[in-house]
């Protein structure tokens, strides 16, 4: 694969040959439908069997949402459970048939990327690191870090995470990347002298002394977020396994290690705290409840901001690639050209088949 560099992003000049060692054989993809119609953008996502949404709904429905995003282990031998989960498994397999494997379609993807300037955007948890019981130990592997570092030498690369920016930088530890934490509400990006900075954007320097642009559209919420964090720590301290994480502009309440019979107690604790904060909303991820400011900003908006900062917005020859695995990543998918739901099949999309432990 020949990479021709320019000032902002290299152009993928020739398609790379398929490496047989990188293909994933799957009995779930025995189909011969025509190639997907490609959109001007490329999206790579890890499919989830079923996810729940929890945003501005009554407390009584929170428990159902928590359960819907936490499928039971598919490896169980319990026959009754296999019947119950059959519909979910069928839907999941249908999804995988409709959207072919990214790895086995590698040559097709590189052909599509030929002549494009690529910018790469990555989620962290579940994408660069495994999902673990304790979020403080979600370390990326040495091989993964080396792979990201290598990619960043050729393409502008950014991490967009729900974690605080400082925390995700501590996990990744690569200086050649750009970082956006708190679901894009805390961005450290490149400085363009010709661009006009939006409100809540200041120019600063990073730890290496390089000029950067710091954008925090929810800065006025910091005192409120700290207050909610302290309240949630206090209200959940008696729930075994519950963990409250301060991600600067959002608060995450993890219930991965909480006995399912106590999930309702977790939901009630969160409800009792945030009902007094009408300017905050609750969203739902994989075994985590997240409290966020009510502002028109998400990972998709963060991706837009970073492309603009890189001088790559509004160019037909730019190919942004986003890799993510959770519901909050859908905002980024929508921005770069993919409609969710029944409209998905109208754009180019591939998935990574990843085997996870504990039913993830």
DSSP string, 270-317: HHHHHTT-TTEEEEEETTEEEEEE-SS--HHHHHHHHHHHTT-TT-TT
Q: Give the CA count within 13 Å in the CB-facing half-sphere of 248.
A: 20
Same domain as 341, residue 262: no
CATH number at residue 288: 3.30.70.1020
Domains in the chain, number:
2
Claim to verify: residue 196 and residue 250 sit in the same structural domain: no
Residue range 64-123, pLDDT digits in tens: 777 766 655 444 344 444 444 555 567 666 766 666 667 777 887 788 889 999 999 999
**Is 194 a member of any domain?**
yes
Residues 309, 323 within the same domain:
yes
The pTM score is 0.72
Same domain, 146 and 284: no
- Whether residues 187 and 206 share a domain: the answer is yes
* Active-site residue, selected from the candidate residues 123, 125, 298, 331: 123
| Catalytic site includes residue 123 | yes
Domain span holding position 235:
59-74+220-293
253-287 core/surface letters (b: 16 or more CB in 10 A; e: else)? bbbbebeeeebebbbebbeebbeebeebbbbbbbb
How many angstroms separate the CA atoms of 345 and 204, rounded?
43
**282 is a domain residue:** yes
Are 264 and 278 members of one domain? yes
* 66: in domain: yes
pLDDT band at 32 (very low <50, low <70, confident <90, very high): very low
pLDDT at 31 over 60: no
List C-alpha distances in Å: 144 to 109, 140, 147: 21, 6, 5
Looking at residue 199, its pLDDT comes to 74
Q: End of a domain among 252, 271, 293?
A: 293
Residues 119 and 267 reside in one and the same domain: no
CATH number at residue 9: 3.40.50.1000
């Amino acid at each position: 694969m020949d990479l021709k560099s320019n000032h902002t992003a290299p152009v993928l000049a020739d398609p790379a040959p398929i490496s047989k060692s990188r293909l994933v054989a799957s009995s779930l993809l025995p189909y011969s439908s025509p190639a997907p119609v490609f959109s001007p953008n490329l999206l790579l996502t890890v499919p989830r069997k079923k996810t729940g949404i929890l945003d501005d709904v009554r407390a009584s429905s929170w428990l159902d949402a928590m359960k819907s995003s936490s499928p039971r282990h598919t490896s169980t031998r319990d026959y009754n459970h296999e019947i119950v989960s059959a519909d979910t498994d069928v839907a999941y397999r249908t999804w995988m048939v409709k959207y072919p494997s990214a790895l086995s379609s590698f040559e097709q993807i590189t052909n599509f990327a030929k002549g494009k300037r690529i910018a790469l955007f990555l989620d962290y948890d579940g994408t660069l690191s495994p999902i673990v019981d304790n979020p403080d130990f979600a370390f990326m592997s040495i091989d993964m870090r080396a792979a990201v570092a290598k990619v960043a030498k050729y393409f502008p690369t950014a991490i967009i995470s729900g974690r605080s920016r400082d925390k995700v930088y501590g996990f990744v530890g690569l200086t050649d990347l750009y970082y956006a934490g708190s679901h894009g509400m805390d961005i450290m990006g490149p400085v363009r002298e010709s661009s006009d900075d939006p409100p809540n954007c200041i120019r600063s320097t990073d730890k290496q002394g390089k000029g950067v642009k710091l954008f925090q559209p929810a800065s006025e919420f910091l005192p409120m977020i700290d207050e909610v964090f302290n309240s949630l720590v206090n209200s959940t301290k008696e729930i075994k396994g519950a963990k409250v994480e301060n991600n600067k502009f959002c608060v995450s309440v993890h219930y991965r290690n909480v006995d399912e019979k106590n999930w309702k107690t977790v939901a009630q604790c969160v409800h009792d705290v945030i009902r007094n904060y009408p300017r905050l909303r609750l969203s739902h991820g994989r075994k985590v409840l997240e409290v966020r400011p009510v502002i028109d900003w998400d990972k998709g908006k963060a991706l837009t901001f970073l492309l603009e900062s890189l001088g790559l917005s509004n160019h037909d020859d730019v190919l942004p690639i986003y890799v993510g695995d959770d519901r909050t990543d859908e905002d980024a998918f929508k921005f770069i050209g993919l409609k969710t739901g029944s409209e998905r099949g109208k754009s180019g999309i591939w998935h990574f088949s990843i085997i996870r432990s504990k039913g993830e």
